[in-house]
A and B are shown apart, each in its own frame.
Chain A
Amino acid sequence: MSGPGFYIWMSYGMAALAVLADVVAIAVRGARARAAIEEERDLEAQD
């Protein structure tokens, strides 16, 4: 399967990478939102 193998791997590999990137983007966005809330909490505590 050397010929078609390249095209199949490139397809499934990129699909897996794209899903992984989506998952990471979601996790980062959630972590940033929680960090922003924590930051505001800390600022309020200082006041």
Chain B
Amino acid sequence: MNWFYLASPATFYRFAGWLAPWFFGLAAILAAAGLYVGFGVAPTDAQQGEVYRIIFVHVAASWMSMFLYFVMACYGAVALTFNTRLAAMMARAIAPTGAMFTFVALWTGSFWGRPTWGTYWVWDARITSELVLLFLYFGFIALANAFEDPRRGDRAAALLALIGVVNLPIIYFSVQWWNTLHQGSSVKLTGTSMHVAMLWGMLLMAIAFWMYSIGAALTRVRAIILERERRTHWVRGLAP
């Protein structure tokens, strides 16, 4: 397959339209399986009781919030380096879904914190750096749309995305670098102390969110392509 062929918005528009429903379908199946394992198979936690089941949405959303920012910044870097239109459009397409998952991570963390820590919010390093991530997403979206010329918006937003990458290791290592109320990582490359059903429930939900994010980014980038290329011959030739 010639990957440069796919870098053309006209080709990618059709390719994304064909791929997106598959990713949405996979996301729905995996989310159903994840919820079944999380609520039907995983045992009650010995310390936290039932409320720990928030983990299946909270951890998956938190992982996705950071991962999507990294992918968005990579597209921004490609757009800045090679001046490619599609990479800049992909960065724009990822940002709202990334912001949505960051909000979900903060919200679910808050509703998990209340019964376990006794408070909805605390200015702890992990939570504060995740809030900074939400502001970075908002900043990216605002900056991308602040210019009359969208290509200038692309470049400014890509630069902000690249600068903001420094926040990702801060979020990840915050629980090790500082004394935080937030617990440490439950899953590490070296292994996990979690029950296998809890781990599978979490992984299934994370992959479901990942598949959803790809489907959402592909569908949104199609709209962005239409907005940007609406005066081109190939868009005019599309069936109404």
A residues adjacent to B (C-beta < 8 A): 1, 3-5, 7-8, 10-12, 14-15, 18-19, 21-23, 25-26, 29-30, 32-34, 36-38, 40-41
Known pairs A7-B112, A15-B108, A18-B104; A30 contacts B226 (CB<8 A): yes
Sampled A-B contacts (28; CB under 8 Å): A3-B51, A3-B115, A4-B49, A4-B115, A5-B50, A7-B51, A7-B111, A7-B112, A7-B114, A8-B53, A11-B107, A11-B111, A14-B108, A14-B111, A15-B57, A15-B107, A15-B108, A18-B104, A18-B107, A22-B96, A22-B216, A26-B219, A26-B220, A30-B223, A30-B226, A33-B227, A33-B230, A34-B226
B191 in the interface, Cβ–Cβ < 8 Å? no
- Interchain Cβ contacts within 8 Å, total number: 84
B160 to nearest A CB, angstroms? 21
Known pairs A26-B216, A26-B220, A41-B240; A15 contacts B104 (CB<8 A): yes
B236 in the interface, Cβ–Cβ < 8 Å? yes
Q: Which of B18-69 contact A (CB under 8 A)?
A: 49-51, 53-54, 57-58, 61
B contacts with A: majority SS: helix
Partner of B107, one of A4, A14, A21, A30: A14
What is the CA–CA distance of A45 and B111 in the complex, to the nearest angstrom? 56
User: A10 and B115: CB pair below 8 A?
Assistant: no
Which 8 residue pairs across A and B have the least CB separation, nearest first? A33-B226, A4-B51, A30-B223, A11-B108, A29-B223, A4-B50, A7-B111, A11-B54
